[in-house]
Chains A and B, each alone.
Chain A
Amino acid sequence: MELELSVSLFYLLLLGFAILMYVLLDGFDLGMGILYPWFNSDAEHDHLMRSVAHVWDGNETWLVFGGVILFGAFPAAYAAIASTFYLPIVLMLIGLIFRGVAFEYRFKSDTSKKYWNTAFAIGSSLAAFCQGLMLGTLVQGVPADFIDQSSFSWLSPFSLFCGLAVMAGYALLACCYLVMKSRGELQHKAARYGQRLLLIVMLSMLLVSLWTVWIEPQIRVRWFGGWHALWLIPLPLLSVLAARLLFRDLGRVNRCHQAETAVQQRHEARPFWLAATLFLLAFVGLLISVFPYLLPRQLTYLEAAAPDSSLMFMLPGIFIFLPLICAYTLWGYKIFAGKIEDYQEGY
């Protein structure tokens, strides 16, 4: 594996950044829908939805961004991935449609509220599950005849497991986000669920890691074949450390509630960042496993790259607008900082 500094590599990293941003941001937002069935009262459901109602649209835009970067920078990969994953993509889109419109309609409904609750919960879960399914398939690799798109290569025990694991991961992010956005019983509940989900997520990560190393000789060689593997040891170690700290922080929130003392502000915000770190580490691990493939064992990023005229054309746009986007997105989160219940919001 030789790493050549090229503009295509930049786009590969950019694609990675877009996916990571999407997973972190839409992760907590889809996670709200996954957690939905574990919260029962109308007030709790209101709270869950209101905590993300002002950002879900922006979060989902990262999915579109990832899609068009793939389209513009790696057209061959976009064509191959999208048509190979036809059914999971369509189901994910249908899920996103139902959960997206639920935001608008639920708050304006009287009699149909229960249907929008269902649409939000099932739509979010379906979208998350399909994303995990596709991720699992990508790691595992598609067969050589993937061009024959009648294959159901995305359906395997491994990919199904990844679907569930991603759901658990998103739900964990949502719990950590809720700890920031709520107080009282709801915060207590979020922290408790968060601890349990963290255990599930760590177990899943371990299992997925072992599974891939076991089924894919190429990935095994990359992680264990030679001295360079020493450089990779920090990744799992840091993951365990982040998980340990996250578990402790969530526990603190719980103890404060049991002792009926105020939760310190830094303990409210830190879980989310720790969970994000965990995702980042897992994502880097994933990149190491599949590099340099966009469609593992079939299509590398270099083979799929668009001509230089297209890659160069997008660069100024990325360098000017991406920092701006990050700035005003942050500004948006800052404006809506604080607990949801402190504002009588609506429009």
Chain B
Amino acid sequence: MELDVSILSRLQFAFTVSFHIIFPSITIGLATLIAIWEGLWLKTGNPQYLQLAKFWIKPFAITFGMGVVSGIVLSYEFGTNFSKFSEMAGAVIGPLMAYEVLTAFFLEAGFLGVMLFGWQRVSAKMHFFATVTVAVGTWISAFWIIAANSWMQTPQGHQFVDGKFEVVSWMEVIFNPSMPYRFFHMLLAAFITATFVVMATHAWYLRKGQHIDFGRKGLSMTLWIALVLTPLQAWVGDLHGLNVKEHQPVKLAAMEGIWAEKEANVPLLLFALPDMKAEKNHYEVAVPGLASLILTHSWDGELQGLKSVPAADRPNVPMVFFSFRVMVGIGMLMIGVALLGAYLRWRGTLYQSNWFLWPVSFMAPTGIIAVLAGWYVVEIGRQPWIIYGLVRTSEVVSPLPAERVLFSLTLFVLTYSLLFGVYLYFMRKLIKKGPAPVDHLQQQRIGVKASGYALSFTKTLATDAETSNSPATDPKGAN
């Protein structure tokens, strides 16, 4: 088989970016949760919140580290593997990424050190500020990278000069038609992903009968959050779908499995096997008219189908079709869990219902799978275009010898597989170890803001004095 450098470069980018997105999806939400817990701890003085924050900061740290190292790869991969794209669209994408680095990456990195290691070096309020800054940094970062991605999906505000894109209006480029929907959809997805990672862990503790108070607090909070966010996400997702219908009708046709050039009264396919050669679906299981109703708000609304464009301009239909169903399926499951949890809470049996806790404790990866599936819909669905309707992906790869890309792809696959195993191992290890006891956390806080050589000495003294009296419960007393 002849090696095709275009396929290899695309595979490598798909692989490295898929690996990367796992980690920010968790850290965006987890940073926010940790900031909330720390804020609640400062406000109420309830050490349980400190315990939550200090426990989850460890999984957060390793996840963040994985996100950083896999992210640096991407910032160079545009140039290494898609040099023609970089040259052509660099004037649009580059500045957006420069703003991402200026307003988000440095901010996150600058305050992460204080957030992780600064517990004894700054005041509790300053530490909270650092945590909030890291969280906000993750949102800002998402904003810019989604703006860049969305411009490639629904480009506007540019002109084409000498074979290169030039920006006419930055407002139009940044706030392009799909950007707001994609941004809120992704931000919510990240919050939900982290919520389910936390929820599953706390359900696991309860099921095992370990760290009961800790387990309950976390489960209770995350179920409340899921109850609000998951239905909201369904609504935002629906709006996003309408936006796709408007601006990328062929992608929508692939998502829904619509072949005819124009179709009215379109059924909602629960299952089907799309066949790209025969240009039709096999084994359809459908609800008549429902897709039309959802997407046009009328039973006999018309939708554009795949055959409205030549076969060369269509994406890989089965991959888009199934990815979309995986994402929606997981979304529905999450809404179900949130509602069931609320019902059990109302009945007062939430923490005893092992039949509920047991499946929930396996739901940690569901958010990540949904995020990946969602991004496959976005990214495979827009093919063969890299800049929708304007530039084809196959035209902009670097003219590298295929063997070299095969070598780097192999290297990335080996490295990332190894690291992913290691990541799971350490996540498991941290979770099995469980949180530090509440009174131990109180002791650690002695010595806050002190500095200099005498610190460790006074710390030991103060800790001894503290434990011989009574374990302090007021964290402000430690200052």
A: residues with CB less than 8 A from B are 53-55, 57-58, 60-61, 63-65, 67-69, 71-73, 75-76, 78-83, 85-87, 89-90, 93-94, 96-98, 100-101, 103-105, 108-109, 147-150, 306-307, 309-310, 313-314, 317-318, 321-322, 325, 328-329, 332, 335-336, 338-339, 342-347
Beta-carbon nearest neighbor of B116 in chain A: A347
Evaluate contact between A82 and B91: CB separation under 8 angstroms. Answer: no
Task: Scan residues 255-298 of chain B and give those whose CB is less than 8 A from a CB of chain A.
Answer: none
| Contacts A57-B68, A313-B95 given; does A82 touch B83 at CB 8 Å | yes
Q: How far is the CB of A295 from chain B (nearest CB, A)?
A: 12
A72 touches B94 (CB 8 A): yes
Cα A59 to Cα B189 in complex, Å, equals 30
Is B75 in the interface zone, CB < 8 Å from A?
yes
Q: What is the minimal beta-carbon distance from B175 to any residue of chain A, in angstroms?
A: 14
Q: Do B69 and A101 touch (CB < 8 A)? A: yes
> B94-105, CB under 8 A of A: which get 1 and which 0?
111111111101
21 A-B contacts, Cβ less than 8 Å apart? Answer: A57-B109, A67-B75, A72-B93, A72-B97, A73-B94, A79-B86, A87-B404, A87-B408, A89-B80, A93-B73, A94-B412, A97-B415, A100-B68, A105-B422, A149-B400, A309-B167, A310-B95, A314-B99, A317-B98, A344-B459, A345-B119
Residue of B nearest to A328 (CB): B110
CB-based contact B97/A57 at 8 Å: no
Contact residues in B for A68 (Cβ distance below 8 Å): 75, 94, 97-98, 100-101
Residue in B65, B73, B101, B400 whose CB lies within 8 Å of A86: B400
The answer to whether B80 and A80 touch across the interface, beta carbons within 8 angstroms, is no
* Any A CB within 8 A of the CB of B358: no
- Decide: A54 and B117 in contact? CB cutoff 8 A: yes
A98–B415 Cα distance when bound, in Å, is 9
Say how far A205's CB is from chain B's closest CB, in angstroms.
28
Least Cβ–Cβ distance between A89 and chain B, in angstroms: 6
| Min C-beta distance of A50 to chain B, whole Å | 9
- Interface status of B333 (Cβ within 8 A of chain A): no
Complex Cα distance A94/B170, Å?
A: 35
How many angstroms from the CA of A150 to the CA of B407 in the assembled complex?
13
Is B312 at the interface (CB under 8 A from chain A)?
Answer: no
Say whether B110 contacts A329, CB under 8 Å. yes
Per DSSP, chain A at the interface is helix
Q: Is B309 an interface position by the 8 A CB rule?
A: no
Q: Which of A82, A103, A342, A344 has the most CB of B within 10 A?
A: A82
CA distance A313 to B171 in the complex (A): 11
A108 to B92, CA, bound (A): 42
Docked-complex contact A306 and B91, CB < 8 angstroms: yes
Collect the chain B residues with CB atoms within 8 Å of residue A86's CB. Answer: 80, 398, 400, 404, 408
With a cutoff of 8 Å between Cβ atoms, the chain A residues found around residue B431 in the complex are none
Assess whether B362 is interfacial by the CB under 8 Å rule: no
Per-residue A-contact encoding for B402-431, CB less than 8 Å = 1, 0 else: 001001100110010001001000100110
- B residues 103-124 with Cβ under 8 Å of A? 103, 105-122
Q: How far is the CA of A112 from the CA of B410 in the complex (A)?
A: 24
Closest to A81 in B: B79
Closest to B397 in A: A83
**List of B residues within 8 angstroms of A76 by Cβ:** 87, 90
Cross-chain contact B117 with A101 (CB below 8 angstroms): no
Residues of B within 8 A of A78 (CB): 78-79, 86-87, 90, 94
Cβ-defined contact, A344 with B79, below 8 A: no
Contact in complex: A60, B72 (CB < 8 Å): yes
Expressed in whole angstroms, the minimum distance between the Cβ of A221 and any Cβ of chain B is: 31
Contact present for A90 and B113 (CB under 8 Å): no
Bound-complex Cα distance A93 to B12 (A)? 14
With the chains together, A86 CA to B119 CA distance in Å? 42
Task: Give 8 nearest A-B pairs by CB, closest first.
Answer: A75-B90, A82-B79, A72-B94, A54-B113, A71-B94, A58-B109, A79-B83, A83-B83
A94 to B97, CA, bound (A): 22
B479 contacts A by Cβ under 8 Å:
no
Contacts of A65 in B (CB 8 A): 98, 101-102, 105-106
